[in-house]
Structure 1
Amino acid sequence: MKYRHLGASGLKISEITFGNWLTHGGQLADDAATACVHAAQDAGITTFDTADMYANTAAETVLGHALKGQRRESLEIFTKAYFPVGPGGPNDSGLSRKHLMESIDGSLRRLGMDYVDLYQAHRWDNATPVEETMVAFADIVRSGKALYIGVSEWNAEQLRAGAALAKELRIPFVSNQPQYSALWRPIEAEVVPASRELGISQIVWSPVAQGVLTGKYLPGRSAPEGSRARDESVGGDLNNRWMRDEVLERVQLLAPIAAELSLTMAQLAVAWVLQNDNVAAAIIGASRPEQVRENAAASGVVIPAELMARIDDALGEVVERNPRRIDAESPDRS
């Protein structure tokens, strides 16, 4: 396992990070979730990403139990706040001071920890002044409940606004967590250049495009039983975005490139995002320990420039590059 600095900070994290969106507290029994967490640790993964809204807070509890008894100093724990939790009352979501102060305490209680290494704004909140949010973050950092702050799916302008306030408040704003894969690249045009300028890294989610880049979905065929595309609760966005024959046909052209590198297609997809030097980590999820081991093997892989160009040629026009798609990831709370 290789490790990278998070932003311009001194903090190092495992470049393969284990995330528990959709799995812990939902799809998996707790013992299976714990087995995946332990497989991640065995593979050298030290960084774990969760959020209070995953399984409506249950995912944090599952992760905390799975890591109970581990040396806290050897782990980097990330969580997030913004989306509705609890009964969904008027202050149960967003980035207000009230919600953030209550959310950090709830997350720490569920994780069974005194602090998190990174506390993240899960989306931009257009209903709360960014000054209010950043002052709340500053107070959370100064209280010792979080060591660093980050955000998720903020555009370049929003990152600059947050970074300016963080500098004024003297708190370490180090990361953005966007969706990023060989198929989904809206961050490349504006977010990545701004982040390099600001000393912010990307911690990317869905590097395998919700499983599409593993090659398991074939053009002209139904999705396999048990796959995410067959799950009505989570498959809607996947089916709308990727499950078109023109995309699936292009993805199959990556198989010989993966073979040339002696990689599975999933490993190729994870390794691809890590070729971007502004990416500190790729978040992987798993329902079985062998999936963890497979994806962790992408750490340290170098894809030659000529093969990176062949990947671009293979995927062609099905790649999404429009930077305006980032704004669509943040719900309107006005």
Structure 2
Amino acid sequence: MSTPPTFDPKNMPFRRLGPSGLRVPVFSLGGWLTFGKSVVGDPCKEIMKLAFENGINMFDTAEVYSQGKSEEEMGRVIKELGWRRSDIVVTTKLYWGTRPGPNNGGLSRKHIIEGTQESLARLQLDYVDVIFAHRADTNVPMEEVVRAFNYVIEKGWAFYWATSEWSSEQIEEAYHIADKLHLIPPIAEQCQHNMFHRERPEKEYAKIYSSYNIGTTVWSALASGLLTGKYNDGIPEGSRFDVEKSFFSGTLKELQSPEGQEKIRKVKELTKLAQEELQTTPSALALAWVARNPNTSTVILGATKPEQLLENLKAIEVIPKLTPEILEKIEAILGNKPGGVNQYGRPSLDPFGKLSHL
């Protein structure tokens, strides 16, 4: 029996996942729209192995990704590479299920428990580190949701639970119920956060961060590739927008509008700033910008090719270069910083005061 490879974090920074003691890499690898769909077989193994060798030990998937095939591919690779389970962090998500049926989706106690068991079977694992509620279910009482995820934790099928694209009110309700019943609350929120999508992660969740120290596991930090600069002069053949035309039909339509063209103009300016002042790529700049946020626990990367992953990991070197001066220049280009809470004419508090941000 061969000795499992030893995990070497290299130069990867690690952060706590929200208020928990779990440490996660600043950049992790996800399987959305790739594993089990455009990336199958040996390429999956090649990308995951390269990630592991470059300090990424967190892998994110979901039951709905490629109708369960993403979990199957990741599970197969983990088993074939023989990694120590204690060396890796595996997360998956429940909500949509993998097949039709009145109870094969959502967040009922039935689907949370059965969905977890089916995900573990596809992953060929005894447990995942974090299980996410992929969306909120307004048709299920929040107490049932909180109790069901706690049951999953008590059974040892997951160590923690978290949310994805929940509103701040829904997250707060889950916390209040967990506190009232002396149960475990969610520790993280998996949200979209990028230079063009800021209101929810930066404004709506502000009170959630300060009240519960919740962390984010960010998806679409590159705005589905728009912030890479590769769409500055059209849609290249073989790109994500080209391969997934139907999925990104709304985005493609927006790019033809004045608003879409304004985004392209901003990406071109960001590209110039990245190259001339930071000697890096627009992709690395965009990823580092999200990672620079103190509420970001990890940024989930997607990759269809090994070289794409390595290119994105250059963002690690850019994070410390994002000085207040550089951040001000980025804000000047973007012009979309979420405003603060309306004070209705009252004078601002001292910015150095402990509660001035509330």
Report what 2:331 is aligned to: 312
What residue ranges of structure 1 are gaps of 5+ in the alignment?
324-334
Q: Which amino acid aligns with 1:128?
A: V
2:220 aligned partner: 206
Is residue 77 from structure 1 mapped to residue 90 from structure 2 by the alignment? yes
Residues 196 and 100 of structure 1, relative CA distance in 2, 3 Å threshold: same
Which residue identity is paired with 1:310? K
Q: Which runs of 5+ in 2 are unaligned?
A: 1-11, 342-358
Mean Cα deviation higher: 16-25 or 163-172: 163-172
What is the letter of the counterpart of residue 287 of structure 2? V
CA distance in 2: counterparts of 1:29 and 1:147, whole angstroms? 28
CA distance 1:294–1:116, shift in 2 (3 Å): same
Cross-structure match for 2:116: 104
Q: Secondary structure at the match of 1:188?
A: helix
Q: Alpha carbons of 1:234 and 1:206: their partners in 2 closer, same or farther (altered >3 Å)? A: same
- Does the residue aligned with 1:17 lie in a helix, a strand or coil? strand
User: Greater RCO between the two (CA within 8 Å, min separation 6)?
Assistant: 1
Q: Contact 1:180 / 1:273 at 8 angstroms: preserved in 2?
A: yes
1:1-334 superposed matches below 5 A: 1-68=12-79, 69-86=82-99, 88-167=100-179, 168-186=181-199, 187-218=201-232, 221-230=233-242, 231-241=244-254, 244-259=260-275, 260-299=277-316, 301-302=319-320, 303-317=322-336
Closer, same or farther: CA 235–297 of 1 in aligned 2, 3 Å: same
Aligned position for 2:350: none
CA distance in structure 2 between the aligned counterparts of 1:21 and 1:320, rounded to whole angstroms: 28
**Conserved 8 A contact 1:9-1:172:** no
Deviation at 1:240, TM superposition (A): 4.3
Q: What secondary structure sits across from 1:217 in the alignment?
A: coil
Q: Report how far residue 171 of structure 1 moved.
A: 1.6
CA distance in 1, matches of 2:247, 2:38: 11
Contact 2:92 2:132 in 1 (8 A): yes
CA distance in 2, matches of 1:31, 1:320: 43
Contact 1:179 1:206 in 2 (8 A): yes
* Distance in 1 (alpha carbons) for counterparts of 2:306 and 2:315: 15
TM-score normalised by the chain length of structure 1: 0.91
Contact 1:33–1:62 (Cα < 8 Å) also in 2: yes
In 2 relative to 1, CA 23–194 (structure 1 residues): closer, same or farther, beyond 3 Å?
A: same
Per-residue CA deviations over 1:205-243 (Å, capped at 9, x if unaligned) read 00000000000011xx43000112122232224324556
Measure how far apart 1:33 and its partner are.
1.5
Supply the distance in 2 between the matched residues of 1:124 and 1:85 (Cα, whole angstroms).
Answer: 17
- CA distance in 2 between counterparts of 1:245 and 1:194 reads 34
Structure index of larger Rg? 2
CA offsets 1:277-306 (integer angstroms, 9 cap, x no match): 010010110000111111122126221111
What whole-Å deviation, never above 9, does each CA across 1:30-87 have from its counterpart, x for those lacking one?
A: 211211111111110011110000000000000011111111000010100001412x
Alignment check: 8 A CA contact 2:35 2:70 kept? yes
CA 1:241–1:170 in 2, change beyond 3 Å: closer, same or farther? farther
Shift of the 322–77 alpha-carbon distance from structure 1 to 2, 3 Å rule, reads: farther
SS for the counterpart of 2:202 is coil
Q: TM-score, normalised by structure 2?
A: 0.85
| Cα displacement (A) at 1:8 | 1.0
Question: Which deviates more, 193-202 or 177-186?
Answer: 193-202
Q: CA deviation at 1:172?
A: 4.9
Alpha-carbon spacing, 1:287–1:115, altered in 2? closer, same or farther (3 Å): same
Verify the 8 A CA contact 1:177 1:204 in the aligned structure 2: yes
